[in-house]
Structure 1
Amino acid sequence: MKDQEILERISKGDETALDYLYKKYYRMMSRIVITNSGTEEEAKDIYQEALIVFWQKVVSGNLVLTSKISTFLYSICLNLWRKELDRKSRLSREEKDNPESMDFEQEERLRIITECINELGDTCKKILTYFYFDGMSMQNIALNLGLANTDTAKTKKYKCKKRLDELVKSKYSAGDFLD
């Protein structure tokens, strides 16, 4: 299949074109992850996420393709993997900064935040949990919750976080959180 035909088929909802892309470029895209400290499983996840990004852009009409599809997918995979490596690096630094076991104060803070998140409602609970506890990207949150796009997810997260802040401040004093 030629690139233009693939784009047309995807824009019409033909999932076989995505399957074709997945199989055709899987080895090339997975090599990005595997040769840069990743596993086969991580490579699959990154490539699937890249295909979702590509599919969303094609279907939304927001894709202006100035290169071959393979080049575009390669850049998406590379960017996603860099973000994942950055996230892993941050987590690693946080683990080094914090001792293995949480102290009582940390456990209490987590309990308070979790309690307040549970009072916010299902959508806010999911968004905040996905983002802060599961480390999920805004794009994946939007997909999981059936939101229109990442901007909608970001706006909802902002509003939920603001409500959480207000709820925590109304129920607890600053002394509950300060050392």
Structure 2
Amino acid sequence: MDSTTALAADAQLIRAIQGGDERALSQLYRLHWPMVSHFVLQNSGSEDDARDVYQEGVMVFYEKVREGSLELSCQIKTYLYAVCRRLWLKRLTTKSRLHGVRLLDDDDYGPYLNTGAEDDLHEAEERDRRFATMSEALTHLGEPCRSLLEGFYL
């Protein structure tokens, strides 16, 4: 598939997701799963690790599409790869398993990794952190303050 055809297919997929088409989300899962699975498995991960990373990466993409804040400068495939790659590397670092592991495709994919996905991922992580902080603070409030705030903001 040439890049023009791929971009047209991506635009159609994005419109379908924006319209709430569940089949589009299923198609997205099927299309790019092998690429992410291969990357994680080749870089010290398990099938379960790959599933977790892919699920999280697709959710970042899905939320951006549904919010209308996705600004793609590449194919969906490249965007998802960059998000999932970043997520996996972060997990490896967290688990202290990165030491001594050479990522097999750094050189091959380097020019394609500047997709804006890192910024989107950072925003999603920051939003999750803020929600966790807010949730923790709400547990310390008494009634009716907690109910009023939850009713207004949630």
**What range is the shorter-chain TM-score in?**
0.5 to 0.7
Structure with higher RCO (Cα < 8 A, 6+ apart): 2
How far 1:20 sits from its partner (Å)?
0.5
Backbone CA RMSD of aligned residues: 2.6
Structure 1 pair 68–139 and aligned structure 2 pair: CA distance change class (3 A) = closer
Structure 1 pair 139–160 and aligned structure 2 pair: CA distance change class (3 A) = farther
1:67 maps to 74
1:172 maps to none
Structure 1 pair 85–151 and aligned structure 2 pair: CA distance change class (3 A) = closer
Q: What fraction of aligned residue pairs are identical, expressed as a percent?
A: 38
2:134 maps to 156
Counterparts of 2:70 and 2:13 in 1: how far apart (Å)?
13
How far 1:24 sits from its partner (Å)?
1.2
Q: Do structure 1's residue 10 and structure 2's residue 17 form an aligned pair?
A: yes
Matches within 5 A, 1:73-112: 73-89=80-96
* One-letter amino acid matched to 1:156: M
Runs of 4+ in 1 over 3 A off after TM superposition: 157-161
**Equivalent residues of 1:30, 1:43 under 8 A apart:** yes
Tell me, which stretches of 5 or more residues in structure 2 are unaligned?
1-7, 98-122, 141-154
Name the TM-score, length of structure 2 as normaliser: 0.61
1:40 maps to 47
**Equivalent residues of 1:11, 1:58 under 8 A apart:** yes
Counterparts of 1:68 and 1:11 in 2: how far apart (Å)?
17
Structure 1 pair 82–157 and aligned structure 2 pair: CA distance change class (3 A) = farther
Counterparts of 2:85 and 2:65 in 1: how far apart (Å)?
19
Cα deviations by residue, 1:60-82 (Å, 9 ceiling, x for unpaired)? 01100100000000001001101
**Equivalent residues of 1:32, 1:77 under 8 A apart:** no
Return the index of the structure with the highest Cα Rg.
Answer: 1
* One-letter amino acid matched to 1:80: L
* One-letter amino acid matched to 2:63: Q
How far 1:150 sits from its partner (Å)?
2.6
Matches within 5 A, 1:131-150: 149-150=127-128
How many pairs align?
Answer: 107
Cα deviations by residue, 1:95-125 (Å, 9 ceiling, x for unpaired)? xxxxxxxxxxxxxxxxxxxxxxxxxxxxxxx
How far 1:159 sits from its partner (Å)?
3.8
How far 1:25 sits from its partner (Å)?
1.1
Aligned mate of 1:25, from 23, 32, 44: 32
How far 1:151 sits from its partner (Å)?
5.9
